[in-house]
């Protein structure tokens, strides 16, 4: 097993990576300040595949474990489903010593994490991410929340998990489209912080697509290492952490104006990364050769790299104005200076409009 | 003006007390890290009385101030109203630098505070409490949340305000029943921590009922001083802070089984305080002479002191089992040893059933 620490004082926790480790989670949770009833929150796709080893392991370790099954899809990361989740957790009778286990991808992790953050003013939760995107990104760092018609993750909380328990075996059943969407976030780490990782991805496409355990654990370890380091320095995104939003300002807007249904999160981020690289090039920050390297890697993983013609650019712009990253009307972007290094820069709306027009 | 500090490191803030100070709030908020749009969340009763000075003061200080008016009553502290509140805040377009001002009693403070805690993962909020209960208790300490059919405050967060701005003038229009309900929490501070305050209340009933500004500021200052000291030592109620729940274990159950409509919070706490004092006497912790002093003070302010016959004690018991203060099945109570001193003690369900039966 590989262990990566997220250092946050009394909120510190470990990310544990391995292959075939789901059935060991109960034993590990026995050593945590958790007791009695636990809820295993999952969805209709993941629970039939991986619910049994988690629930059995919890029971073997002396916990009561209650499955709570949500519908599968980003469109269910909303207040209605959250309301039903609260009803279920209260029906089970979780108390302040209880834990919520989030078994699934980013949607399950975000909504179950937010329910844990706000159940009786906050109880423990553990992330068991089963998609690549959740394993390299959303399970780490304590961002929880739900979407609103007005924008993604508009309602949420910072609430750190007590443990992230990642099993690469769960990737074997992941639909290819989801695997590729997860790769968008891995590519992001390469661009913002790790030129070597970017190079590794260029050279190891086949091994990644075949989901070789060792290769996947390497990607997850590099990605989580970067994220853990950044989150440890800036838990609540007052500065540095914003670099993780590379590709996300435009990406979120793309998701919002298409109602969260047309693109997976990672696909929207891929579009956002390339457009933000182009924006960086326009502003003279990034060479066009590097823009093309970014385009090449994104496209080699079958990810979308441009905004489809039928999407209205003025809707994208107004969606970005409401984005959490909009501050007093100005728009801040994370822009690459070269592969492996980014900076945060305020960009005039005029400049953005030109980007979308051309 | 009187200032009381709540010391919580980077989350520290001041409670400011005065008479006729509502119109100064904008000026004070200019010195805080807040800018642009603000929402003044209030209710249909309070806003017509005190909305104008607050909104005007914010505008004069250069903020945009948008009123958001909720229905008035504890029965509206729920997910439906919270959902509408989110819609309104998103419609206004609050961003991460925005603030929410909660102008009203405990319900407005709790729900607006929770909305602020979870809007874009947390923005600033300021409490402007206009009921005695909110001024002496709920506006201080960062407990925010909403009720659920399964229990009071079941969904919520710890989220500290940036400022508490209390104007004793707002008490002049407070309905007498609400004033008396607020007195229940003041009596609580006397019992848990301040024998002198208890004695002052016994001697100054008339001045309190006439809402003399100086007298009310004295009560608020003593109460907030105790609460600030306790919260500073134990923000998230891992130990000491639990003493503030004296009267609340039974009080919350009374509110829950009566659907939050029959008793005001303070009235239910009054019932709870006397029953928990009787429980303490049964367990040999408190003399019956002190139980009678507590009963006398509660009744002198026209507060209920017993559970009405038509309330089913088994429903109360099962409601308490789900209470946030129930831990792994056991029930913890805050019990007085004498006026001015309490202890936390686990009580067997058997003992409780006997209390309700007799």
| Predicted local distance difference test score (pLDDT) of residue A260 | 78
Q: Which is more confident, B357 or B331?
A: B331
pLDDT digits (tens, 9 = 90+) for B322-331: 666 565 556 8
Query: Is pLDDT of A244 > 80?
Result: yes
| Predicted local distance difference test score (pLDDT) of residue A322 | 66
Q: What are phi and psi of B140, to 5 degrees?
A: -110, 135
Are B66 and B38 a contacting pair, CB within 8 Å?
Answer: yes
Which helix (H) or strand (E) segment is B198 a member of? helix B195-203
Catalytically active residues of B, by annotation: 121, 143, 185, 227, 237, 241, 245, 248, 252, 265
Confidence at B60, pLDDT banded by 50, 70, 90: very high
Q: Which is more confident, A222 or A255?
A: A222
pLDDT digits (tens, 9 = 90+) for A10-31: 999 999 999 999 999 999 999 9
Nearest to A157 among B117, B322, B324 (CB): B117
Residue of A4, A51, A54, A66 whose CA lies nearest to A27: A54
Residues listed for chain B? 358
C-alpha dihedral over A291, A293, A297, A298, to 10 degrees? Answer: 10
Which helix (H) or strand (E) segment is B347 a member of? strand B341-347
| Predicted local distance difference test score (pLDDT) of residue B322 | 66
| Predicted local distance difference test score (pLDDT) of residue B349 | 80
Helices in chain A by DSSP H: which ranges?
25-29, 46-60, 79-92, 106-118, 132-133, 176-193, 195-203, 205-209, 213-233, 248-257, 265-282, 288-300, 313-322, 349-357
Å between B93 CA and nearest CA of chain A: 6
Mean model confidence pLDDT for chain A:
94
| Predicted local distance difference test score (pLDDT) of residue B166 | 98
Interface of B with A (CB under 8 A): 35-36, 79, 83, 86-87, 90-91, 93, 95-97, 114, 117-122, 143, 145, 148, 150-151, 153-158, 236, 321-322, 324, 326-329
pTM given for the model: 0.92
| Predicted local distance difference test score (pLDDT) of residue A326 | 60
Residue B58 tokens, joined? 């914010």
Question: Picking from A206-210, A253-257, B104-108, B295-299, which range would have the lowest pLDDT averaged per residue?
Answer: A253-257
Nearest to A93 among B97, B122, B322 (CB): B322
Which helix (H) or strand (E) segment is B300 a member of? helix B288-300
Which of A152, A188, A245, A278 does the annotation list as catalytic?
A: A245
Separation CA A292–CA A301 (nearest Å): 14
Mean model confidence pLDDT for chain B:
94
Confidence at B117, pLDDT banded by 50, 70, 90: very high
Nearest to A158 among B121, B150, B321 (CB): B121
Residues of chain B found within 8 Å of residue A321, distances taken between Cβ atoms: 93
Q: Residue A12 contacts by C-beta under 8 Å, 6 or more apart in sequence?
A: A5, A6
Residue tagged 């959250």 (tokens): A82
Residue-wise DSSP of B7-23: --GGG-EEEEEESS-GG
Strand partners, A151: A148
Per DSSP, chain B holds a count of helices (H) and strands (E) of: 14, 12
C-alpha dihedral over B98, B101, B106, B107, to 10 degrees? Answer: -70
Q: Residue B262 contacts by C-beta under 8 Å, 6 or more apart in sequence?
A: none
Residues of chain B found within 8 Å of residue A150, distances taken between Cβ atoms: 87, 90-91
| Predicted local distance difference test score (pLDDT) of residue A319 | 85
| Predicted local distance difference test score (pLDDT) of residue B326 | 60
Residue of B42, B38, B15, B13 whose CA lies nearest to B26: B38
Separation CA B231–CA B223 (nearest Å): 12
Å between B119 CA and nearest CA of chain A: 5
Separation CA B135–CA B116 (nearest Å): 19
Separation CA B18–CA B169 (nearest Å): 8
Are B321 and B331 a contacting pair, CB within 8 Å?
Answer: yes
pLDDT digits (tens, 9 = 90+) for B223-255: 999 999 999 999 998 889 999 999 999 998 998
| Share above pLDDT 70 across residues of chain A, in percent, rounded to a whole number | 97
Q: Which is more confident, A290 or A33?
A: A290
Question: Picking from B54-58, B168-172, B343-347, which range would have the lowest pLDDT averaged per residue?
Answer: B343-347
Q: Which is more confident, B319 or A303?
A: A303
Are A276 and A335 a contacting pair, CB within 8 Å?
Answer: yes
Alpha carbons within 13 angstroms on the beta-carbon side of residue A239 total 4
User: Active site includes A241?
Assistant: yes
Nearest to A90 among B91, B119, B154 (CB): B154
Question: Picking from A310-319, B9-18, B112-121, which range would have the lowest pLDDT averaged per residue?
Answer: A310-319
Determine how many CB atoms are found less than 10 A away from the CB of residue A78.
Answer: 16
pLDDT digits (tens, 9 = 90+) for A82-120: 999 999 999 999 999 999 999 999 999 999 999 999 999
pLDDT digits (tens, 9 = 90+) for A67-86: 999 999 888 999 999 999 99
Confidence at A348, pLDDT banded by 50, 70, 90: confident
Question: Picking from A134-138, B26-30, B267-271, B346-350, which range would have the lowest pLDDT averaged per residue?
Answer: B346-350
Separation CA B224–CA A352 (nearest Å): 51
Q: In the predicted model, what is the mean pLDDT of residues A41-66?
A: 98
Residue tagged 């989030």 (tokens): A102
Separation CA B117–CA B98 (nearest Å): 12
Residue tagged 């492996």 (tokens): A340
C-alpha dihedral over A69, A71, A72, A76, to 10 degrees? Answer: -120
Separation CA B262–CA B281 (nearest Å): 28
Q: In the predicted model, what is the mean pLDDT of residues A297-314?
A: 93
- Name the strands in the sheet holding B13-18, side by side, starting at the edge strand that comes first in the sequence: B2-6, B13-18, B163-167, B124-129, B99-104, B37-43, B64-70
Buried b (16+ CB within 10 A) or exposed e, A3-34: ebebebeeeebbbbbbeebbebbbebbeeeeb
């Amino acid at each position: 097993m590989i262990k990566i620490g997220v250092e946050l004082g009394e909120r510190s926790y470990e990310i544990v990576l391995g292959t075939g480790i789901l059935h060991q989670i109960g034993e590990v949770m026995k050593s945590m300040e958790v007791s009695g009833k636990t809820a295993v929150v999952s969805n209709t796709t993941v629970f039939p595949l991986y619910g049994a080893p988690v629930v059995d392991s919890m029971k073997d370790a002396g916990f009561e474990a209650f499955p709570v099954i949500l519908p599968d899809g980003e469109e269910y990361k909303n207040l209605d489903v959250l309301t039903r989740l609260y009803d279920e957790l209260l029906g089970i009778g979780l108390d302040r010593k209880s834990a919520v286990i989030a078994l699934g991808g980013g949607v399950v992790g975000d909504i179950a994490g937010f329910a844990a953050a706000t159940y009786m003013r906050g109880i423990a939760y553990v992330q068991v991410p089963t998609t690549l995107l959740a394993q390299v990104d959303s399970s780490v760092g304590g961002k929880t929340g739900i979407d609103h018609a007005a924008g993604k993750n508009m309602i949420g909380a910072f609430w750190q998990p007590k443990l992230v328990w990642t099993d690469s075996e769960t990737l074997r059943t992941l639909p290819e489209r989801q695997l590729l969407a997860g790769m968008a976030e891995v590519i992001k780490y390469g661009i913002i912080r790790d030129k070597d990782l970017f190079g590794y991805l260029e050279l190891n496409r086949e091994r990644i697509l075949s989901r070789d355990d060792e290769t996947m654990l390497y990607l997850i370890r590099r990605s989580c290492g970067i994220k853990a380091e950044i989150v440890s320095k800036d838990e609540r995104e007052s500065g540095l952490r914003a670099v993780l939003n590379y590709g996300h300002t435009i990406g979120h807007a793309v998701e919002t104006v298409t109602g969260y249904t047309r693109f997976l999160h990672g696909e929207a981020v891929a579009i956002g990364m390339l457009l933000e690289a182009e924006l960086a090039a326009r502003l003279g920050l990034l060479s066009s050769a590097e823009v093309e390297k970014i385009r090449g890697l994104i496209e080699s993983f079958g990810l979308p790299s441009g905004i489809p013609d039928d999407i209205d650019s003025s809707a994208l712009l107004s969606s970005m104005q409401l984005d959490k990253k909009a501050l007093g009307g100005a728009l801040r972007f994370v822009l690459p200076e070269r592969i492996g290094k980014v900076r945060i820069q305020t960009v005039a709306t005029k400049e953005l409009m030109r980007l979308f027009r051309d």
